[in-house]
Every structure is written in C-alpha cells, then in structure tokens.
Amino acid sequence: KIMAKAPTSPATIFALASGGGRAGVAVIRVSGPLAGAALAGMMGKGGKSSDTLPRRAVYTPLYDPEGGDGLDDGLVIWFPGPASFTGEDVAEFHVHGGPAVIAGVLEALSRMEGLRLAEPGEFTRRAFENGKMDLTAAEGLADLIEAETAAQRKQALRQLEGELGRVYEAWRERLLSALSHSEAAIDFSDEDLPDTIVAAAAAEIASLEQEIVAHLTDKRRGERLRDGCLIAIIGPPNAGKSSLLNCLARRDAAIVSEVAGTTRDVIEVHLDLGGYPVTVADTAGLRDGGDAIEVEGIRRARRKAEDSDLRLAVFDGVAWPDADPSTLGLVDVDTLVVINKCDLAKPTPPLEVAGQPALAVSALTGDGIDTLLAAAAERVGAMMDVGGSPALTRTRHREALEECRDALARYLGGPG
Ligand code: GDP
C-alpha cells in the first residue's frame, strides 16, 4: 500500500539573536509556521496580541504560557512571511538582557509544542533556502558580523547588498544564452538558423572569459581585506623590532630585551591600520649562527617574511649603514625601510637602504611612528583597495571562477 507523504512543514526555530552576557536589551527571534502562536502565547491569555501589526513594535508584558508567570516587559515585533528575514513568519522579542530573563523566555519557548532551538546559522540558511538572499549575500552577512575594521565592513556590506552576486548572475545569464544558441545550432543544424549564431556565441564566450580572467587577476585584494594582510617586521638582532611592534600595538605584546636573539618565535598583533585589518608579526633577528632554538626562530622569520604582504625592515640607526647583508637581501619594493633609534643617532638624508627610501623613527620616544603608520596604511590600502568593481572575497569564489574560466577556454579551444 502506498502512503501519501504528508507535506512536512519546517520546524519553528528560536534563538537568542543578540550576543551572550548581560546587556540592556537582548533580542530573541522565532521563525517558522508557529511563530505567531508563540507570540500570542507569550503575550498571555486575553493579552494584546491583537495589537500586533506587521513590522510595528508593541510594548507588552510577557508571560510564561505555562502557569502564566510574568517574565519581563518588552517590545515584540511581528513579521509575517514572506516579508521577513527568513521569508517565514518571524516574531522578535526585545527583552531585558539579563541571564534569567533570557533563560526564562528561551525555556518558555522550548516548552511549546513544535518549537526547537535553532542550530548555528539556521535563520540565514532559511533566508537562503527561501530565496531571500543568494550565497554571496549570506557570506557577506557572515563577513559583516565578523568585520573588525571600517574597510572590512564596507566590503561585507556591499557583498550583502548583492553587488558581487549581481556580477555573477549577469555572467550566468550571458552564459546560458550563449549555451542555448550553441545548442540550437547543434539541434537544428538543417533548419534555417542564421549561420552567424555559432560565431556570435563564441564571441560572447570569449568576452566572458576575458572578464572572468580580469576579475581573477585582482592581486587577491578582496580576500586580503576579508582575511587581513600580514606585515612582517624583519631586521638584524637588536635593531628594535620588538620595541617597534610594541610601539605600534601600544601595548607590551613582544618581549623586549637587550640580549641579542631573544625573540625566538613569531609574535603577532592584530591592528586596525587606517580602517584596514593587518597582522603585524615580529620575527627573530636575522643573523647567522646562534643556538638551535635561535636558528629555528630565524627559519620561521624568513618563512613569515616570504608569506607577508608587506615587510618592515628595521635597522639600528647607530649600527646602520653597515647593515647585515642577509637582511638587505629581503629589502624590495614590498618593503618599508625603517631606521630606528633616531633618538640616539639622527640619520642624515638622503635616507635610502638597498635602493628603497627609508623612514627614521624612534621606537623609544615614538618619534616618526605616525609617519610610519601612515606610510604602512597607504601601502596596505593600495593592496586592498576595493573602490571600484566588487572583488571576490573567498577561495570558494576563486575556485569556482577558475573552473569556469578553464571550461570556457576548453570551449574556445574547440573540440579536441
Ligand atoms: P630586536 O632584537 O630587534 O627585537 O630589538 P629590541 O626591540 O629587543 O631592542 C633592542 C634594544 O634596543 C633594547 O634594549 C631596546 O630598549 C633598544 N631600543 C629599541 N628601540 C630603540 C630606540 O628607538 N631608541 C633607543 N635608544 N633604544 C631602542
């Protein structure tokens, strides 16, 4: 006997939408077919749930539907689907953000038939599944929540608003149209199709391929901005690398000592550099010899320097210019050269090391640090600048686009 499968309606889910811990206000969100019932239940028997108008805040006492205990006075907002974040019926409770209030409301909701606690990301997942946002927008939302600097926020917001998704959607539509024209030419080869149809499709594919290649050749600016970029502080022992890092971080993050070779590992601090997220890594002094631990530290320092987006090469203003050749070898166009200890020895212009202009600073007095920060922010900003067209921000985007580019190249290469 064949049983007709009953259409399963999605579970109604709820969760604390605001952060944990005590706060003035906490927001608890409910989404699903029973959201309206949950709202009415919490507003109490004979309560004013009839007062709730769509998308209007109502100030109301809230009760435990079981037993009728008062839980809090708060605001409720009713978002009937599909005009809601998830596309389903949604109710929001804005309650006082104390642990007992939050626990009381969550508990009362969990006791209601058909309601369960949401899994992480489940509200956004429903929004995605109900066509409220595409995947790039959902990723933009996640990035916006994670954003720590102004430039990251800007990029995430643009992605959430669909900028990147629109670029990809337009490409998809052009691809589909080129595909249907090619298929028409194959399926109806005997019929009266204009012979230009295949050539036109090929021209469209060629221009699409070029646009995708240009989009991919972006020096990873979107990904760099999302993940933050890495600045490595390199230089000979005792040049003042740790002191400079502390000075930049304005806190004691690295060990400063007068014994050469004490920074044996890589120490990192995260900074907001003029709105751009950077990690600054202090590395072991690059010099030959030393004990096994120091040698390992130097190996890591070199690796970090190679992985970094920008290097700050620090030289001791007293010892300079007989600077260590092993450090000089690392000075290139992606290096900001810093001559430290200018409180002890004021270097005479022109300041130049290995062909690169240098900045004089004192990590001790803070002299020249603002200029250095501004110069670093400018370099980093240029690397991450997302002013113009929307940039891809994740490896997922890059891999999908590379696959697409390769497929288009195969098509353009003809059968073979
Ligand atoms: P690192 O080995 O390159 O990390 O160097 P440190 O940061 O440990 O500094 C080595 C020594 O130089 C320490 O005694 C610091 O106090 C001193 N030092 C660092 N920066 C300055 C500076 O700008 N001026 C002066 N006078 N001393 C400094």
Q: Compute the distance from residue 316 Cα to the ligand 1 centre, in Å.
A: 8
Cα dihedral 60, 62, 65, 67, rounded to 10, equals -120
Q: Is the pLDDT of residue 190 over 50?
A: yes
Pocket test for ligand 1, best of 241, 245, 246, 256 (most atoms within 8 A of CB): 256
- Whose C-alpha lies nearest to ligand 1, atom 2? 238
Q: Is the pLDDT of residue 165 over 90?
A: yes
Q: Poorest-confidence range of 170-184, 277-291, 349-363?
A: 277-291
The pLDDT, as a whole number, for residue 416 is: 46
Span 300-327, average pLDDT: 78
pLDDT band at 352 (very low <50, low <70, confident <90, very high): confident
The pLDDT, as a whole number, for residue 174 is: 96
Q: Is the pLDDT of residue 118 over 70?
A: yes
Q: Compute the distance from residue 275 Cα to the ligand 1 centre, in Å.
A: 28
Atom of ligand 1 nearest to the CA of 282: 4
Distances from the Cα of 201 to the Cα of 61, 166, 173, 175, angstroms: 64, 22, 13, 9
Identify whether the C-beta of residue 162 lies closer than 8 Å to the C-beta of residue 137: yes
pLDDT band at 67 (very low <50, low <70, confident <90, very high): confident
Phi, psi of 232 (to 5 degrees): -105, 135
Q: Is the pLDDT of residue 327 over 80?
A: no
The pLDDT, as a whole number, for residue 250 is: 74
- The pLDDT mean for the chain works out to 86
Span 243-262, average pLDDT: 68
Q: Compute the distance from residue 113 Cα to the ligand 1 centre, in Å.
A: 66
Better-predicted residue by pLDDT, 298 or 411: 411
Q: Compute the distance from residue 237 Cα to the ligand 1 centre, in Å.
A: 9
Atom of ligand 1 nearest to the CA of 239: 3
Q: Is the pLDDT of residue 6 over 60?
A: no
The tokens describing 414, both together, are: 């003809």
Ramachandran region, residue 275 (left: φ > 0; alpha: ψ -120 to 50; beta: rest) = left
- Whose C-alpha lies nearest to ligand 1, atom 8? 256
Measuring from each residue's beta carbon to the nearest atom of ligand 1, which residues come in under 6 Å? 235, 237-243, 256-258, 263, 285, 340-341, 343-344, 362-364
Identify whether the C-beta of residue 25 lies closer than 8 Å to the C-beta of residue 58: no
Distances from the Cα of 237 to the Cα of 154, 247, 289, 345, angstroms: 39, 17, 12, 18
Q: Is the pLDDT of residue 84 over 80?
A: yes
Atom of ligand 1 nearest to the CA of 246: 7
Q: Is the pLDDT of residue 238 over 80?
A: yes
Identify whether the C-beta of residue 318 lies closer than 8 Å to the C-beta of residue 341: yes
Q: Is the pLDDT of residue 257 over 80?
A: no
Q: Compute the distance from residue 362 Cα to the ligand 1 centre, in Å.
A: 9
Pocket test for ligand 1, best of 233, 234, 238 (most atoms within 8 A of CB): 238
- The structure tokens 């956004």 sit at 124
- Whose C-alpha lies nearest to ligand 1, atom 26? 341
Span 44-68, average pLDDT: 82
Angle between helices 395-412 and 196-216 (to 10 degrees): 150
Q: d(Cα 96, Cα 74) in Å, to the nearest integer?
A: 7
pLDDT band at 358 (very low <50, low <70, confident <90, very high): confident
